[in-house]
Each structure stands twice: as structure tokens, then as C-alpha cells.
Structure 1
């Protein structure tokens, strides 16, 4: 005897099964978000709070000063927004490299050389070229110098297979020393006793936003990150770069020129690092002093990883990190905490981030 099947009941069961599956997927994604993103951030702040208590500082007071001086005051908020500009260009630089499977750890050297060349040329062009042309030339030269400084690691990686972690770090150290040497010798301002480049007048720097002290470099940094994110995720060129990073053998089999794409990745990444240096000088500082090295490049690396190489997520993290940097400087003066304690917090974040990734991978293996 044939059993009748009610189509409506089958559809209901299928819908219920699909809804349950979707709910499970959403729950799994939310749990992973807690494990690899929210968890490490909370744990890092708790670990840093313990360290503060051990040295006799109230962590609530310390974090309270950070929030008050960086987000809840107009001056602090403007300083936070201005600090974001060079960090955003560095985010764009690292997103290109990391998504393409390239470990460009030489951004600090590229940053400083870009800053020095912009600081050395822009003041000389004032009065010779229109204001916008002075800034444009400064940015272009900074990007070019940053890209040139990556040629040696790029060639060694593309044609000899040399590990770029070592070569980019070595070139970064050389770049930092060369930048300081250029400031002391070739590009030194002869009218000052302190070794520094000539100073670009405030009126000739990047314009401010809405009658505030916020440099318009912030806008260009945001545009750079968004364009890079779209390039790496929505264009065929970005797909080629990501394919080379994911599987060079498959990329070669598909007819792609792996060495040329590797060179292009280095050039673009280092060029944006040079732009970061130019944005800091042409927008805020106006000159470069000898031995100046804010080490922004290494600071931004954990933010890019924490954002999972996503442009919008990196922008949000850069904002909070800039607030942390500005606020911690004020807290250090008020509470007697070393300004480098921000690096302790970043180190704690890296440790907790690594533990979160390990826990997530361990859970995934168990589920399989």
C-alpha cells in the first residue's frame, strides 16, 4: 500500500531544517567572533590592568584618563583623528602585502624615507609651484622612494625565493639609519642648531577640516584604505595578487607571471608606506628631526591582523588605537606611567590574539 506524502509537511520540515542550520551557522560565527576578536581585546585589557596594579597604578583611573583625553574632549578627538592619517596609509600598505601573501615588515624604513624626501623637497618648491602642486610632488616623491627601497627584497623574493621577512627587516633598519643620516647631512636646515630638515610653513601644509586642527590627510587615508580594500576584493588585479599569495604554483599554471606580480605587490605596498610618511610631514609636522622614528609600521601590523585584512574593520581599529595612543600620553604624564606602556598593551593583545587563534583552530579540528 503506497503511503501518501503531504507536500506541505515536507516543505515545513525542510524549512525548519534550513532555519536550524542557519541558526547553528550564525551561532558558530558569533562564537568565533567572540573567540578571535572580542575575547583577545578584553583579555589584553585585563592583563594590562593586572600589570598596572602590580606597579601601583589604578587601571580604572588609567583607562578613564585615556577615554577622557582622547574621546570625550574636543581637542583630544581632533588629535586622535589627526594621528589616524599616517596609520591609515600604513594599513593600506599592509593589506596589499598580507592579502598577497607577502610579509612586508620594512614599512618603518619606507615610511621614514618617504617622510624625509617629502620634508626635503616641499619647502624648496614653495613659491615655485602652486600650493597643491607642492603637496602633490611631495606625495609622489615619497611614494616613489618607498617603492624604490623595496626593490631589493622584491627581486630576491621574486627571482631567488629569499624569505622577505629577513630582507625587509634588514632594509628597514638600513632605511631608518639612512633617513637619519640624510637629515644630519644632505637635507639639514643650515639655519638651525638642531639637526632637522627645512620646515614647511603651516599655511602650505595640507588644509585642515572644518576649521579644526584635523589634517585633511585623514580623508586621503580613508580613501586609500577603501580603494585598496576594493582593489583586493573586487578587481581581477587584486584576485591575481591574492592567487599568487595563496598558491604560486597554481598561479603559474594559470598563466600568471608570479615574479612580476610579486614585484608589483612590493612596489604598491612600499609606495603606500612612503605616502604615510608624507602625510605625517606635509599634514602635521612640517619637518623631520634626526633620529625621529615613531615606528608606526610595526604598531599597525596587529591591527591589520585583528581586522582580518578587512579595510573597514581596520579603520575602526585604527581609530581606537589612535585614541589609545593620544590618551596614554596624557595618562602617562598624569599618573607617572611610562608612555611606552601602550606597547605593553599591544604586546598583550598580540599574545591574546595568538591564543584566540589557537583555541579557534583547536575547536575546528574537534568539529571535523
Structure 2
């Protein structure tokens, strides 16, 4: 018997073991993907069903309501364009939250960073427009918006990095302060003297972000898409992203590994808040053109459950932001047609948060029972 004949059965058995291992790995991969999909889609379906029950309790046909939402937010060409435009600032806020949450930092100050940046940009750009080229005005507005957002995060960042102060408390406090300060600026320092209603000066439509492909869709959508994809790739494919994930997973281990945790913490705050500030700039330069007193869309808090549903994944966040934008734009039309209050969309988001918590609890119990 030759050496080849002797070794063949061993090689065949090794091949079988290798094939079995690969099959088990593929099966485990698909189980993981199915679990992530279920945890992402399940709460959405549950929230829509519970919201339908609320509509029934209000005497409104939920099928008609959701039909109006889909027709206006997705099927109607002008509604779809409004949906895509709405996505721009939401995607930038999602990108900022992904950076913070993956690094284990709860930046809940997005609304303050967003609104304060929006007010500063709305006050500055109309003054620059008569003296500078349009592209330069837009560039200055975007940079200033990002800088204002980053600066507004300095205090919570330093307190977290060097004193260990809980950032949930400090960022929420800075949000309340930022929103109030923004309103004061609109009513006093930045008020347009030519209007009776307190608001900033208005940036002319011709000086705003260009539209895409002869539609009403603002190019802020492209800025948001580029930002969220870039953040996803940085956080998953680069050494900097790996460092941030290590800090978020285990800060003590990060310190023992020699990582500059305080500096990385400040960098995360600055990057997250800069993206929130950039979202405010995009909203003004692409859509609003000015800021009226007491205006606050609460975009940042609304985006938080969407980012959690996407499991901090950039591409998943795009999908959930699109779904929310359809619900938001379509809900405005559906509210008028069915007599439902305009804020019913926020009710759906609140129910979504509850369903997300329930889904996480059930998943944790399932995983604990499987051990």
C-alpha cells in the first residue's frame, strides 16, 4: 500500500471536518443576521400595530391613516422629494450618534447643538451673501455650523474626560441651555428688524444649497449620506474606530492598553457634536432659510431610537431614517385628512421606544436561557 493510499482517508476526514466547521459558521452567521433583523424590524411592526390601536381608540381608521402616510410620503412625487430632503439633517444627526454610542458615550445634547448652530448660521449667511460667492457662503455656513456644535460640547466633554461626570446629565442640561440661548438670540441679537415676527434674516432661495437633478430635493441629502457612510467605515474599518470601540466596550482595559482615553473622549464629543451642528446648518442652508423664535423640531431625540434599531450600523440607519421621514412627511398630510393631531408621529416614535426596550429585554432573557 502506497503512502498516498494511507494518507487519503485522513485528508478526507479533515476535509469533512473543515466543511462541517464552515457550514456551522455560515449557519451561525445567518442566525445572527436573522436576530439583528428581527430586533430591528420587530419593534417597528409592533409600534405600527399599537399605534393602529390608538387610532382606533380615537375613532380613526388606521388603514386610511397609513394609506395617506404612504401616498403622501412615498408615492406622491412631491411628497417623496420632501421625504428625501428631510433625511439630510437626520442622517447627519444619526452619524453623530453612531460615533458617540459606539464609543460608549451618551451625547444627548444634539438638539441644543443643532438649534444653536442653525441660529448662528441663519444669522451669519444672509449677511455674507451680498459680499461673497454663493459657494463660499455655503462652505462658511457649513464649517461654522460644525464648529458651533463642537464648541457647545466642550464643557460636557471635559467634565466626562477628566472628572468622570455623567454625560447624560451634562448634555441634557446643555440642551436646555442651548435651546433657550438660541431663542434669546433670535428675539434679540439676531432678530431681523424688517419683520414683526421674531426671526433671523432670511437667506435667499438662490443662495441656498443646490437642488438635485431638477427636483426640490436639497443636496443636503448627499451631505448626510456621505457623512453617515464615512462614519460607518471609520468606526468599522480604521484603527481610530477600533480605539473608540475599545474605549466604549471597556474603558479600564483601554487605559491598561495605553490608549489616551481622556483625549479620545473629547474627540468623540467634538466629532459627534460637530455632525449635529452640521445638521443644523444643512437644515437652514437647504430648507428653512431662517429661524423663527421658539422653533425646535427635536430631531436629535427622535433619531436616537432609529440609531438603536439599526444597531449603530450606518447603512441600517439610512433605512430607518428613510422610514421615519416617510412617516413624518406623510403623517403631516394624514393628520390634516383624518383630524389626528400633528404630533401623532411623535406618539408613534414613543411607542417605538417602548417596543425597542421590550425587544431588548426579551432578547436578553432568551440569550440568558440559552447559556
- Partner of residue 252, structure 1: 255
1:230 paired residue among 212, 218, 233: 233
- Partner of residue 195, structure 1: 198
For 1:93 and 1:33, the matched residues in 2 are separated by 22
- Contact 1:35–1:356 (CA under 8 A) maintained in structure 2: no
For 1:349 and 1:74, the matched residues in 2 are separated by 27
2:244 paired residue among 238, 241, 245: 241
Supply the RMSD in Å over aligned alpha carbons. 1.8
- Partner of residue 117, structure 2: 114
Deviations 1:267-306 (A, max 9, x none): 1111110000000001111000000000000000000010
Relative to structure 1, is the Cα distance of residues 88 and 31 closer, same or farther in structure 2, using a 3 angstrom cutoff?
closer
1:89 paired residue among 89, 92, 102: 92
1:167 paired residue among 151, 161, 170: 170
5+ residue gaps, structure 1, are: none
1:186 paired residue among 172, 186, 189: 189
SS at structure 2 position matched to 1:326:
helix
Q: After superposition, where does 1:210-225 map in structure 2 within 5 Å?
A: 210-225=213-228
- Partner of residue 307, structure 2: 304
- Partner of residue 147, structure 1: 150
- Contact 1:111–1:275 (CA under 8 A) maintained in structure 2: yes
**Of 340-349 and 98-107, the range deviating more from structure 2:** 340-349
Aligned residues: 366
Superposition TM-score, scaled by structure 1 size: 0.95
2:287 matches 1:284: yes
2:77 matches 1:71: no
Relative to structure 1, is the Cα distance of residues 15 and 155 closer, same or farther in structure 2, using a 3 angstrom cutoff?
closer
1:31 to partner: Cα distance: 4.5
1:358 to partner: Cα distance: 1.2
SS at structure 2 position matched to 1:168:
helix
1:227 to partner: Cα distance: 1.0
5+ residue gaps, structure 2, are: 1-6
Relative to structure 1, is the Cα distance of residues 20 and 183 closer, same or farther in structure 2, using a 3 angstrom cutoff?
same
For 1:135 and 1:60, the matched residues in 2 are separated by 43
Deviations 1:8-46 (A, max 9, x none): 863575367446624642553255135412221111111
2:181 matches 1:157: no
Superposition TM-score, scaled by structure 2 size: 0.95
For 2:111 and 2:346, the matched residues in 1 are separated by 16
SS at structure 1 position matched to 2:75:
coil
1:187 to partner: Cα distance: 0.4
